[in-house]
């Protein structure tokens, strides 16, 4: 039973980080109806830039605000130069624009900082720490606990900001009806700038957490693909939905990998989230907390 709880806690901590990545998608989709396919590239660019600044001689506490500023600039420039000129275009056009943007960001990142794999040390050892339960220790990685706490705090803060503040109310109004929001004086352009800048900061935090665990490398772009089942299960427009879905996905993939993996040759955690996503698409396509959208054809 203690081993089961170890696996469960590890899965839940991974799930929180999935939720953090998915949150970047949700923020942009709620504000503009755009599925930002470039979010994974932003994660890669952010953490690679952070490590690159430290390699240039900046310490952690200087490199962090410099990288945050850079990602805010990337978000604002993306909104101004790529998305704003395409306002009013079809969803397919906007999706293709973000796909192209992803390749541009990936190329710029590797052109600026190179392609070698780098280590990211956050001062937290990837060693087990134990909690006493029924006279036995439940061992969980210190790095996983720290990453889960940071991701959880980030998700909670953003959820509060976008549910309780003026910017959050404006975001919800814009998500419901752009034209109506503009008619009552909500500054749509400013809201979109804030959202894209926030998505850039979220990408940095997510990249740091995943980079510390698996190294800073191009494979981090694939983190965005792992967030896709979380989005589908939780709902593309729901912040609470992606939090719950991230926990479900993280726990399910770890438990299945440990207990069912030996019978099927392993690798379950690579595809089980997508199976869950397909099942949700068949049964509840809008997700757990997503809004059912009805379009007049």
What is the DSSP annotation of the chain? -HHHHHHHHHHHHHHHHHHHHHHHHHHHHHHHS---TTHHHHHHHHHHHHHHHHHTT--HHHHHHHHHHHHHHHHHHHIIIIIGGGTTS-HHHHHHHHHHHHHHHHHHHHHHH-SS-B----S----EEEEEETTEEEEEEHHHHHHHHHHHHHHHHHHHHHHHSHHHHHHHHHHH-HHHHHHTT--HHHHHHHHHHHHHHHHHHHHHHHHHHH-BSGGGGGHHHHHHHHHHHH-TT-HHHHHHHHHHHHHHHHHHHHHTHHHHTS-HHHHHHHHHHHHHHHH-TT-SSPPPP----
Which pLDDT belongs to residue 104?
A: 93
pLDDT at residue 290 in the model:
65
pLDDT (0 to 100) of residue 237: 79
Residue found under tokens 């696996």? 7
Distance, CA of 3 to CA of 52 (rounded, Å): 39
Which residues on neighbouring strands pair with residue 27, listed in sequence order?
A: none
pLDDT of residue 105: 92
Q: What is the pLDDT along the chain (297 residues), one digit of tens a residue?
A: 777 888 888 888 888 888 888 888 888 887 777 888 888 899 999 999 999 999 999 998 999 999 999 999 998 888 888 888 887 777 788 888 999 999 999 999 989 998 888 888 887 766 666 655 554 566 777 777 887 888 788 878 877 877 777 777 777 777 666 667 777 677 777 777 888 888 888 889 888 888 888 788 888 887 777 888 999 999 887 888 888 899 999 999 999 988 888 887 777 888 889 999 999 999 888 888 766 665 555
The phi and psi torsions of 107 (rounded to 5 degrees) equal -65, -45
Is this prediction's pTM over 0.95?
no
Supply the pLDDT for residue 129: 67
Token digits of residue 277: 């996503």
Could you give the CA distance from residue 200 to residue 46 in angstroms, rounded to a whole number? 8
What's the rounded Cα separation, in Å, for the pair 168 and 11? 30
243 with 19: CB under 8 angstroms? yes
Identify the pLDDT of residue 55: 92
Nearest Cα neighbor of 26 from 193, 131, 162 is 162
């Amino acid at each position: 039973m203690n081993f089961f709880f170890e696996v469960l806690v590890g899965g839940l901590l991974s799930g929180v980080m999935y939720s953090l990545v998915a949150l970047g998608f949700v923020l942009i989709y709620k504000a503009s109806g755009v599925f930002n396919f470039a979010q994974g590239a932003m994660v890669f660019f952010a953490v690679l830039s952070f490590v690159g600044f430290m390699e240039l001689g900046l310490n952690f506490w200087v490199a962090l605000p410099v990288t945050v500023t850079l990602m805010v600039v990337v978000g604002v420039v993306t909104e101004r130069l790529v998305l704003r000129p395409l306002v009013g275009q079809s969803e397919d056009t906007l999706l293709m624009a973000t796909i192209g943007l992803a390749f541009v960001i990936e190329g710029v990142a590797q052109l600026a900082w190179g392609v070698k794999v780098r280590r990211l040390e956050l001062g937290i050892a990837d060693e087990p720490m134990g909690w006493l339960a029924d006279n036995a220790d439940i061992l969980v990685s210190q790095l996983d606990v720290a990453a889960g706490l940071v991701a959880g705090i980030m998700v909670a803060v953003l959820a509060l900001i976008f549910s309780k503040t003026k910017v959050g109310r404006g975001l919800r109004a814009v998500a419901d009806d752009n034209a109506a929001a503009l008619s009552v004086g909500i500054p749509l352009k400013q809201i979109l700038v804030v959202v894209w800048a926030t998505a850039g900061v979220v990408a940095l935090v997510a990249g740091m957490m995943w980079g510390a665990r698996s190294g800073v490398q191009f494979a981090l772009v694939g983190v965005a693909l792992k967030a896709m089942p979380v989005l589908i299960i939780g709902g593309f427009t729901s912040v609470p939905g992606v939090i719950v879905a991230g926990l479900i996905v993280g726990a399910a993939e770890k438990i299945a990998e440990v207990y069912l993996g030996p019978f099927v040759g392993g690798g379950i955690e690579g595809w089980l989230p997508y199976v869950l996503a397909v099942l949700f698409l068949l049964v509840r396509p809008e997700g757990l907390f997503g809004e059912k959208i009805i379009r007049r054809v």
